[in-house]
Chains A and B, each alone.
Chain A
Amino acid sequence: MCGNEALAEAAIIAGVDAYFGYPITPQNEISAYMSRRMPEEGRVFVQSESELAAINMVFGASATGKRAMTTSSSPGISLMQEGISYLAGAELPSVIVNVMRGGPGLGNIAPSQGDYFQATRGGGHGDYRTIVFGPSTVQELVDCMSLAFDLADQYRMSVVVLADGILGQMMEPIVFNKKPRRSLPPKDWALTGAKERPQNIVRSLWLPEGSLEKHNYKLQAKYEQIQKDEVLCEQYEVDDAEIVVIAYGVAARIVRSAVNKARKEGIKAGWIRPITLWPFPSEQIAKAADELRILLVVEMSLGQMIEDVKLAVAGKVPVVFYGRPGGGVPTVDQTLQRIKQFTIPTKRQEE
């Protein structure tokens, strides 16, 4: 079972009622798997005519209180941005998986992390956020699906799972854990028919003067709560490190190998791995910057997350970068070389 199929099964275990999607490489295993499994479970699968339609089918199912999801890859996610903005405005829960590929444009089908900005800044028009996960193993990809559905329902918003071609295609041993759902608020806003209750309206339109501003403040309060409560990140050997490498997703695995090698060579290196990309673990990274050390950001792009790292450390320590765009995957040796390049000069100075 590859990562794509594993996440699909995890979504089924998490209780997804409906899957809508349009084919695009490298995530086609998901819709193929869903087309077989969802009907087996008596749930809904529809291959849509476009990503635009797919996200709006998600909108429709979600508006009636059902758990709905879609998956795509970078160009398709761009097409969905209109719908994601409307979901945010209408405060509808949804889970969206982006198995990222190289861009811009049609780009290529190789693994990439070029959609970080799009995912963590909202992506579509208007003042909004989505919760974003950046899992780095197939197991984590599987585990974050149930959390994604819970968070979507709890906060009534979209949760984006940012994977990439490697994670989607690779296989490694996994265990499906059925986690208990969080205790979630009732969906009393859902469109289920106005029977013995007043009409429910789901909308993103706020015309009367001041009403949209008020709505935006309401969304903002929710986003602030999420930033307080839902940050996930992992760190390793940061305390004594003179260089801390920051990476997410598959890039973080490459970093892990490089840091292990660096430690074996006596270099005091550590890493921080954001698991939620929004909310971003700014506090954890700022804390690492309290000690004078260098932060190296490694990405499969020309530098997107690095902006959040720089915001977090506010100029306190140098932040350097190594990354490759367009489907280029940073290698362990190259990463190790950068770690050495940025640590050895400081050592010399001390000597």
Chain B
Amino acid sequence: MTRAPSDDSYEEIIIAGFGGQGILLAGRLLAQTAMKRGLEVTYMPSYGAEVRGGTANCMVIIADEPIASPVVDRPDSLIVMNKASLNKFASRLKAGGLLVMNSSLIDIEPQLDNTIEIIAVPADKIAVELGNQKAANMVALGAYLQKRGILSPDAAVACLAETIAKRYHKTLPVNTEALHRGAEFAKDSG
């Protein structure tokens, strides 16, 4: 039987960007990592005509008790990879929430409740430095994991191989490095 959710045990996350930015992969990796830790988790992708271009988002809930609704209205944390997603989702963040934004593609200062913590990580720039711009999603996820502290970036690294399709396994090293670089960025930014 479901217990009433206590806010501290429930982490609701929305990850959003445009199609092709690896939004759903980042969400699946987060969900997989939580599951491996023995936590309850739901992962709900947007689906449909948004395979390339367009907007893509996913909702992940991590809890230490059975999860009722898999739909996230008011996220505790929001990872946005482009400006459109920031505009769409930022107002839904809970007070005291966390915003991780890709400052490589978002050149504005979000006007948010001052209880919300913001990490502006140049995810694309870092990914390009690593030699694969597509790893920007992992940079942002690494920053989120480091800052939120529910799951460690290393735990996510350990789940990469089982989350990424075998035909893309040559990207495992760059994704690993990207998760680490994102985490370091979050650490350095306090």
Contact = CB atoms under 8 A, between A and B. Distances in A.
Contacts of A263: 4
Contacts of B35: 173
Contacts of A165: 47
A25 B31 contact: no
A172 B49 CA distance: 23
A302 interface: no
A192 to B, nearest CB: 42
B31 A171 contact: yes
B35 to A, nearest CB: 5
A224 to B, nearest CB: 32
Nearest to A260: B4
- Is chain A's binding surface mostly helix, strand, loop or mixed? helix
Contact of B68 (A109, A166, A173, A257): A257
A333 B69 CA distance: 11
Given A171-B28, A173-B35, A264-B4, A254 B47 contact: no
Interface residues of B, number: 24
A260 B2 contact: yes
B94 to A, nearest CB: 12
Contacts of A253: 67-70
Contacts of A329: 71
Nearest to B1: A236
B43 interface: yes
A172 B43 contact: yes
A173 B32 CA distance: 9
Q: Is the interface of B mostly helix, strand, loop or mixed?
A: loop
Interface in B24-64: 28, 31, 35, 40-45, 47-49
B5 interface: yes
Contact of B42 (A172, A236, A254, A256): A172
A257 B69 contact: yes
A165 B4 CA distance: 26
Contacts of A204: none
Contact of A331 (B2, B5, B71): B71
Contacts of B41: 171-173
Most chain B beta carbons < 10 A, residue from A25, A166, A263? A166
A166 B43 CA distance: 10
A170 B44 contact: yes
B43 A254 contact: no
30 contacts: A25-B47, A25-B48, A109-B47, A109-B48, A165-B47, A169-B44, A169-B45, A169-B47, A170-B44, A171-B28, A171-B31, A171-B41, A171-B43, A171-B44, A172-B40, A172-B43, A253-B67, A253-B68, A254-B68, A254-B69, A254-B71, A256-B69, A257-B68, A257-B69, A260-B2, A260-B4, A260-B68, A263-B4, A332-B69, A332-B73
